[in-house]
A and B are shown apart, each in its own frame.
Chain A
Amino acid sequence: MSKLLEIKNLTVHYETVDGVIHAVEGLNLSLEKGQTLGLVGETGAGKTTTMKAIMRILPEPPAKLKSGEIFFAGEDLLKKTVSEMRKIRGKRISMIFQDPMTSLNPIMTVGHQIAEVIHIHNNISKRDAEVEAAKMLETVGIKAERANDYPHQFSGGMKQRVVIAMALACNPDLLIADEPTTALDVTIQAQVLELMRLLKVQRETAMILITHDLGIVAETCDSVAIMYAGEIVEKGSLSDIFNDARHPYTKGLFACIPDLFSEAEMLTPIPGQMPDPSELPAGCNFCSRCAYAMEGCGSRDPAMREIAPGHFVKCHRWTGETGKDVLDDE
């Protein structure tokens, strides 16, 4: 049961003219081989920053890695040299981004772009790489003849398939997908998610899927981590989060999505908004919006506690040893 990825105490700040932005603070996360982790959070929670830190593609400056270790297959990525990281990116860890429109180079054919990734990481000729690229296209459901077409000749969904082909071309151990279907129509999203699921199973790729859509998480993920204002506030297995959510923010998220099957009159939104990351409050970041806030929540930052095997919550309500609710109102 070796962990493929283990992030320990990651802290990333952005140092800007207007102040220091605490993008990620003391983050701990792990992932097993072949498993899919859903990283859920809203805008500004720090999900993309965390992923970029793994890939070592943070814009430094203004980003600054203040602390942390990221172990990938046992080695700390943060200690690797630039050339070592280059060998890892695309080959062992790949990333796909949200907007397929801007992820592809408009002046290169799609076949060429996929072949480029293959050629860089494998000791084969360019011609052989192109052949492999065509095969990858077929794998993602695009006819091989289209390898000579340019990105603008493809629709959004197909562009995203090309991006997936590029990401999986070298059979990485870990795929990071940053909101891969947010920009796509729901029927196309269904196609792309199905494709990703198939490929993932075939190739045993581990995946971190960043999304704000709990529906997608329910369908594709094995474990879930909920991020808020730069921290993970709850994490656990899929059933832990969906059947036994503990953190008030997690509960709030579930409560405010309009349910296709219920007849609720008004939704129950989470009041207020995420705090300014350059001016985080003392104590719990969620306190001002929390329906269960107690005395002390505003002054002491809660620690991350394991309340059940594998189920962690960062909230003063949960005592940790017994998984009991401090408020005792369950």
Chain B
Amino acid sequence: MNDSHEILLEMKGLKTFFPTKAGLLHAVDDVNIFIRRGETLGLVGESGCGKSTLGRTAIRLLNATEGQIFFEGEDITRLTSKQLRHIRKKVQIVFQDPYASLDGRKSVFESIGEPLRIQKTFSDRQSYIRRVYELMDTVGLARRFANAYPHELDGGRRQRVGIARAIATNPVFMVLDEPVSALDVSIQAQILNLLMQLQRDYSFTYLFISHDLSVVKHISDRIAVMYLGRIVELADYRELFSDPLHPYTKALLSAVPIPKIDAERKRIILEGDVTSPIDPKPGCRFAGRCQNCCGSVCYSETPEIQEVVPGHFVACHLHTMSGKKKEQEGT
């Protein structure tokens, strides 16, 4: 795999908090992860877990409240917009909603070309035009759509425009924020294949954010599971699915509907709803819904993420307390 590759992006102690009327919202709360050059890190979690916030903070679309972000070794956490300009062409983002992520008043050609115009990549118009058409070819958009406006295209095509725009400046790193969630199943598969092909051809590094486990598994090398602003588990993609450790990961996996009849389904139904990310108290945030809760320690001490098996990290008292590699089955 990618063991010998250098670290492209690293986040240390990253926190992104939002002040609200009710208190301080801990959207991203002490995240420590790195992404190696050429790999795809999948980030899964449900709504409100902070994965989108994490993605945006990582590329400085949002400002971190605390902690550091290193890109290619450079600390970019506190750089000004002017200083960030040289980063902007190396780091890009594809959004979830193909309807909202394109300016309705700009044609496909203009939207794709905009990063090139901003970065002043080309000095002559012809090279610029050629590049935009090239990009359209690369993402599988027929050239006749150059003049089309977003509302004339369907979701799949719009998403291709978004992808073409993102790869326009030859980035090295891309945050893909639920890029296929809003698409029909048959189109999802087309776009996923496209993303994977692009990674193969251009050696992109991806942070792939999604709530859809099957999709994440398909495209990722390693997967991180997020819950209420914290990473609760991180492992190689095969390992996460074959040997999930965190009770939330297990519940999440068991909840995915399987498109096979007569399939073995041991569903773990979580009680209640997600607790509030506003001014959370110390202790494990999953404690109230956890079926393997260890009692008082889970409610008083916030579990830190630790490597319990080489390459497999989990933030759970059940594993760090006992020090065992396989957990004791409570089900």
Contact = CB atoms under 8 A, between A and B. Distances in A.
Direct contact of A and B (CB under 8 A): yes
Interface of A: 42-43, 155-158, 185-191, 193-194, 212-219, 238-239, 242-243, 252-254, 256-260, 264, 266-271, 273
Interface in B119-139: none
Interface of B: 46-47, 154-156, 184-190, 192-193, 196-197, 211-215, 217-218, 241, 251-261, 263, 265, 267, 269-270, 273-274
Nearest to A267: B189
Given A253-B186, A269-B187, A273-B187, 5 more contacts: A187-B251, A190-B255, A191-B269, A267-B193, A273-B154
Given A42-B186, A191-B270, A266-B193, A242 B214 contact: no
A256 B189 contact: yes
A260 B241 contact: yes
Given A186-B213, A187-B46, A259-B214, A268 B257 contact: no
**Nearest 10 CB-CB pairs, A to B?**
A215-B257, A269-B189, A185-B46, A256-B189, A214-B259, A190-B255, A42-B184, A258-B218, A270-B186, A267-B189
17 contacts: A42-B185, A43-B184, A157-B273, A185-B46, A186-B46, A186-B255, A188-B46, A189-B257, A217-B259, A219-B258, A253-B185, A256-B186, A260-B217, A260-B256, A260-B258, A264-B218, A269-B189
Nearest to A265: B196
Contact of A258 (B187, B215, B273): B215
B251 A260 contact: no
B211 A186 contact: yes
A218 B196 contact: no
A191 to B, nearest CB: 6
Contact of B214 (A156, A260, A270): A260
Given A43-B184, A271-B190, A218 B213 contact: no
B259 A155 contact: no
A194 B257 CA distance: 12
Nearest to B273: A155
Contact of B258 (A186, A215, A256, A267): A215
Contacts of B274: 155
B259 A187 contact: no
Contacts of A218: 257-261, 263
B187 A266 contact: no
A101 to B, nearest CB: 12
A315 B241 CA distance: 38
B267 A190 contact: yes
Contact of A216 (B252, B257, B265): B257
Contacts of A188: 46, 273
Nearest to B251: A187
Contact of B261 (A185, A193, A242, A264): A242
Contacts of B252: 186-187
Max chain A Cβ within 10 angstroms of own Cβ: one of B47, B213, B256, B260: B260
A257 B185 contact: yes
Contact of B186 (A187, A219, A269): A269
Nearest to A43: B184
Contacts of B46: 185-188
Contacts of B154: 273
A180 to B, nearest CB: 13
